[in-house]
């Protein structure tokens, strides 16, 4: 009896191990999570984001290596955004910021994006650069998630469960180590759909959108007053580009585009090009709502390198 039990346990563990290897080899899943030390000290750090090693500089910005340095006499290109721009799960040199750094080697490229940043943080980051760096231009990436800053999801069952301390710890531990766990959660809960539907409801709320738009206008007005070149970017959600972009009505894009046009704000919407490129490429990390795969980073880079 004991022997039979041991054999069954061995078979289950063997299957699990083979499945984990299978997911990794064929890139069917990916890790999540961020080094715990990042929340304590973001400067001069070596850590991991979505399983990929990263380094930060003396400002806490992502850079290619531990000893990276900027050239003081160079002009500056500043990337503003959240973890989407930070580029978790992808080697720095093949993120769009890393590619831009190589392409524009006569410029300092600052990837100032930090996981956890929101729309209200962008203004202060930009103000810091304007006050401390000369000859800068800004590329500002708007994530639909930023609207969540204005309304917390008290009735979101999944998020409420995740926020229970012990469950949160277990979840963070498993998703940072097991590809099979991320795969299973992705299959069962469809995070891309869940996250998009959550923000889409908020974009339909005129009062929430107005507060969101005010923050964008605040940034633009400041840069206009300082006469500093800038452009805002709209990036689609992973869920939106499914089935040849026929899954949603693109409410966030339509409302943001209307706002940018009415205020005469310089912007570019990546939705159309993502729809075209998604037919032959997986532009996002597996089961992730917003974070890009290497192919997705390439799409962004192909456009911003021409600016």
- Please check whether residue 52 lies inside any domain of the structure: no
Looking at the structure, tell me whether residues 172 and 287 fall in a common domain. Answer: yes
- Please check whether residue 13 lies inside any domain of the structure: yes
Is residue 41's pLDDT more than 90? no
Is residue 165's pLDDT more than 90? no
What's the rounded Cα separation, in Å, for the pair 148 and 153?
Answer: 8
- Which structural domain range is residue 120 located in? 72-304
Looking at the structure, tell me whether residues 25 and 125 fall in a common domain. Answer: no
pTM of the predicted protein model: 0.93
- Please check whether residue 61 lies inside any domain of the structure: no
Looking at the structure, tell me whether residues 131 and 3 fall in a common domain. Answer: no
Looking at the structure, tell me whether residues 187 and 272 fall in a common domain. Answer: yes
Looking at the structure, tell me whether residues 118 and 247 fall in a common domain. Answer: yes
- Please check whether residue 58 lies inside any domain of the structure: no
Q: Are the C-beta atoms of 59 and 39 separated by less than 8 Å?
A: no
- Please check whether residue 60 lies inside any domain of the structure: no
Q: Are the C-beta atoms of 154 and 200 separated by less than 8 Å?
A: no
Provide the terminal-to-terminal Cα distance of the chain, rounded to the nearest Å.
Answer: 70
Looking at the structure, tell me whether residues 18 and 134 fall in a common domain. Answer: no
Looking at the structure, tell me whether residues 26 and 77 fall in a common domain. Answer: no
Is residue 158's pLDDT more than 70? no
Mean pLDDT of all residues belonging to the chain: 92
- For 187-226, the pLDDT digits (tens) are 999 999 999 999 999 999 999 999 999 999 999 999 999 9
Looking at the structure, tell me whether residues 26 and 115 fall in a common domain. Answer: no
What's residue 157's pLDDT?
A: 63
Is residue 7's pLDDT more than 70? yes
Looking at the structure, tell me whether residues 117 and 263 fall in a common domain. Answer: yes
- Number of structural domains (the chain) is 2
Looking at the structure, tell me whether residues 26 and 86 fall in a common domain. Answer: no
- Please check whether residue 252 lies inside any domain of the structure: yes
Token pair listed for 8: 């069954």
Looking at the structure, tell me whether residues 15 and 115 fall in a common domain. Answer: no
Is residue 116's pLDDT more than 90? no
What's the average model confidence in pLDDT over 229-234?
98
Looking at the structure, tell me whether residues 15 and 117 fall in a common domain. Answer: no
What's residue 55's pLDDT?
A: 96
* pLDDT class of 281 with cuts at 50, 70, 90: confident
Domain of 256: which CATH number?
3.40.50.1110
β-pairing verdict for 136-142 and 107-111 = unpaired
- Please check whether residue 43 lies inside any domain of the structure: no
- Please check whether residue 18 lies inside any domain of the structure: yes
What's residue 222's pLDDT?
A: 97
């Amino acid at each position: 009896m004991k022997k039979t039990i041991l054999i069954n346990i061995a078979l289950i563990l063997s299957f699990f191990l083979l499945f984990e290897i299978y997911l990794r080899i064929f890139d069917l899943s990916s890790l999540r999570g961020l080094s715990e030390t990042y929340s304590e000290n973001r400067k001069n750090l070596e850590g991991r984001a979505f399983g990929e090693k990263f380094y930060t500089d003396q400002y806490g910005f992502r850079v290619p290596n531990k000893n990276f340095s900027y050239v003081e006499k160079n002009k500056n290109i500043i990337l503003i955004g959240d973890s989407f721009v930070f580029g978790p799960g992808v080697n720095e040199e093949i993120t769009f910021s890393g590619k831009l750094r190589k392409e524009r080697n006569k410029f300092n490229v600052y990837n100032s994006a930090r996981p956890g940043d929101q729309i209200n943080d962008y203004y202060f980051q930009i103000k810091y650069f304007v006050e401390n760096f000369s000859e800068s231009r800004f590329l500002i990436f708007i994530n639909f998630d930023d609207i969540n800053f204005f309304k917390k999801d008290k009735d979101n069952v999944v998020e409420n469960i995740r926020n229970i301390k012990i469950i949160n710890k277990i979840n963070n531990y498993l998703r940072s180590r097991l590809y099979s766990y991320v795969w299973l959660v992705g299959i069962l809960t469809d995070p891309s759909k869940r996250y998009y539907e959550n923000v889409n409801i908020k974009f339909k709320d005129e009062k929430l959108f107005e507060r969101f738009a005010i923050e964008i206008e605040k940034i633009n007005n400041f840069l206009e007053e300082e006469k500093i070149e800038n452009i805002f970017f709209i990036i689609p959600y992973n869920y939106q580009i499914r089935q040849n972009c026929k899954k949603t009505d693109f409410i966030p894009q339509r409302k943001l585009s209307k706002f940018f046009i009415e205020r005469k704000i310089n912007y570019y919407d990546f939705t159309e090009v993502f729809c075209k490129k998604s037919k032959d490429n997986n532009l996002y990390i597996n089961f992730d709502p917003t974070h890009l795969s290497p192919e997705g980073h390439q799409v962004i880079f192909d456009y911003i390198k021409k600016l």
